Chains A and B, each alone.
Chain A
Amino acid sequence: MFADGLRRALTLILRGDPEVLGIAALSLRVALVATALACLVGIPVGFLLGTTRFRGRRTALTVLNTMLAFPTVLVGLLVWLLLARSGPLGEAGLLYTWWAIVLAEVLLAAPIAGALTAAAVQGVDPRVRRTALTLGASPFRVHWVVAREARFALFASVVVAFGRVLAEVGAAMIVGGNIRHHTRTLTTAVALATSQGDFALAIALGLVLLALALTVNVLLHLLQGRGDAPGT
């Protein structure tokens, strides 16, 4: 059955099946937007927690690390309650739109970006900061130098956040509703096709999911390679 499914899946992909392409495009869009927003929030917060000393910092780090283990369906439920017509943000009418999925994924991925960033900058040699300071750098440039030193680990946090978002299914199902042409992502579509017994479609979508993950990671890797030798 798997071999048959695989053969039909390859046909679907190679023929450029519009259904498969549409789902893949939506998934990519959701994943890229959610990863960008999650990093926009998570990386500065992680940076702050990793580089500055203030009261409650340890507590904040513990909370952040706990959020890594948040069940995705729980986040889906919280966002659903938030966006439901009777909820605090019900007016916006976002429930069962791809923005609802983005919101849920940001809540899941931002703690990952934050916690990994905090760990990355905490691991930077303390001399890096002192060197930047003694060279007379402005506070912003001191942070920039620390980030530059931790760039590989920071890239890793982006990659992990993207992986989480792309592979997530529970929250996307709850807040998106798996509506065809609107909120059907690769993962929710795989779940549906499997439950309907359409294994060829499920395998095809699964392969596309893997291919997308591979492509984005290769691109990030190339980007990282270029950042390997700053200023030379």
Chain B
Amino acid sequence: MLRARDLRHRYGGRVVLDVPDFTLTPGTVTALVGPNGSGKSTMLRILAGVEPSDEGTLELDGRPVRTPAERRAMRRAVTLVEQHPLLFDMTVAANLRDAVHLHGEAGAGAHARIAEVLDAVGAGPLADRRARTLSGGETQRVAIARGLLLAPRVLLLDEPLSAADRVARDALGGVLDRLRAAGTTVCFSSHQLEDAYRWSTRLFSLVEGRIDGVTPENLFRVDLPPGRGSRTVQAGPLALTVVTERHGPAIVAIPPDDILVSRKPIASSARNQFAGRVSAIAEDGRGRIRLVVDAGTDLVVRITPAALAELGLQIGSPVVLSVKAMAVRVF
């Protein structure tokens, strides 16, 4: 529904975005993950139509957005909540009423939903506060409520979890689940891979202005037994030792960079060792080698070309993978 084609954007002569094709599919929650300064905010502002790109076109529902009228129609359908959002100098409730007024067509029921959207982000008690006396996290939550109030078809959130405490995180998680259920398209940026894994249905990395699909590699759905600290869970065919305070259903991920590859079992502190055979060897486009090892299930491992040469690995080579329990991420 919202698609960007051949986007290029420069700041001071330096290309900060270079995105040939990027589509936000209806009803999905897309995460853009990347370090600070990788172009996430610029990308979202361009997608929201509040900053023009130097080159490229945006398409809404398959039609290019070119004229001022089309751009405004797109901005009505797409709402951006910035990382450091701005609220106007009035009360929180007045800010939300003002947003309905500015939007013009937010629907007759919008005013009646003010309390509802504030409650949804846990900001109900803030309704009568002066907006500019709020903390960063509170401001962010109120701005998200303001975005929800306009019921956009696409909601763009720039680092929505950056200033959030635990309560805010849970509230936002609930909001994202409801938006997804309601068919709203959501795209959020984060510099935390954990947040991206936890809340998104699609994941892209944005590094130095370029977008890559991130295959959620080495992910397993598990049921964590009650207890604390180090536990062993069944991750598909693998018995995996993890360290976590959580219990119940969860997702565990073994980061491909945190897996040690050896030809023979090694004596080490790593709690997890799996024997397998190399089933694929490829370059990952960033000068590293992506190995796929069949250890009962496919595990993706990234190593350096030097390590590949030293180990003399080929398709079919038997290898042992070692992973520290602490390196396994639990979502």
Which residues does A use to contact B, with CB under 8 Å?
Answer: 125, 127-128, 130-139, 141, 145, 148-149, 229-232
Contacts and interface: CB of A to CB of B under 8 A. Distances in A.
A52 to B, nearest CB: 13
Interface in B54-84: 68, 72, 75-76, 78-80, 82, 84
B256 interface: no
A231 B97 contact: yes
Contact of A133 (B75, B98, B99): B75
Contacts of B91: 231-232
Which 8 interchain pairs have the tightest Cβ spacing? A136-B76, A231-B94, A127-B86, A137-B102, A136-B103, A134-B80, A133-B50, A130-B50
B187 to A, nearest CB: 14
Given A125-B86, A229-B90, A232-B94, A136 B104 contact: yes
Contact of B82 (A130, A132, A149, A229): A130
B51 interface: yes
A130 B85 CA distance: 10
B68 A134 contact: no
B49 A133 contact: yes
B48 A134 contact: yes
B242 interface: no
Contacts, number: 74
Interface residues of B, number: 31
Given A136-B102, A137-B102, A131 B86 contact: yes
Contacts of A231: 88, 90-91, 94, 97-98
Interface of B: 45, 48-51, 68, 72, 75-76, 78-80, 82, 84-86, 88-91, 94, 97-99, 102-106, 146, 150
Contacts of B49: 133-134
Given A137-B102, A137-B103, A141-B102, A232 B90 contact: yes
Contacts of B103: 135-137
Contacts of A136: 72, 75-76, 79, 102-106, 150
B76 A127 contact: no
A131 B85 CA distance: 8
A189 to B, nearest CB: 44
Contacts of B51: 130
Nearest to B156: A134
Nearest to A134: B80
B50 to A, nearest CB: 4
Contact of B45 (A130, A132, A141, A149): A130
29 contacts: A125-B86, A127-B86, A128-B86, A128-B88, A130-B51, A130-B86, A131-B88, A133-B48, A133-B75, A134-B48, A134-B49, A134-B50, A134-B78, A134-B79, A135-B102, A136-B75, A136-B76, A136-B79, A136-B104, A136-B106, A137-B104, A145-B102, A149-B88, A229-B89, A230-B88, A230-B89, A231-B88, A231-B90, A231-B98
B94 A138 contact: no
Q: Which of A131, A135, A138 has the most chain B CB atoms closer than 10 A to its own CB? A: A135
A136 B82 CA distance: 15
Contacts of A149: 88-89
Q: Which of B50, B86, B102 has the most chain A CB atoms closer than 10 A to its own CB? A: B102
Contacts of B75: 133-134, 136
Contacts of A135: 79, 99, 102-103, 146, 150
A224 to B, nearest CB: 14
A51 B98 CA distance: 22
A127 B82 contact: yes
Nearest to A131: B86
A72 B99 CA distance: 46
A102 to B, nearest CB: 36
Contacts of A132: 102
